[in-house]
Amino acid sequence: MKYRECETSDDTYVKEEGWNCDSCHTKKVIKEEIPIPTEKAMLAKLLMSLSERRERKGSTVTVGLHEVRATFRFPEHNLPKLRQDRVQLG
């Protein structure tokens, strides 16, 4: 995968991705213009990926003009039982 600056726009990159087919021995190149990632976009992507890596009941990421808000919902746990299990393991 290659990224290079777009010649027609200052706000985008050209993403070039090559594919090789092993069975028919053909090469395919896919070119796509993508916007330059902003700090807001990168932060939103990071917050959305947290739900995939951790145990969550759900999450919401809202991107506004000057703010990014994230809400994470966690599964309900029986805290006294978790503490008891921890003491038994320790």
* pLDDT at res. 85: 67
pTM of the model: 0.40
Token output for 55: 């145990």
* E strand segments, 6-73: 12-20, 27-35, 58-63, 68-73
* pLDDT at res. 19: 84
Strands 12-20 and 58-63: unpaired
The whole-number average pLDDT for the span 17-37 is 84
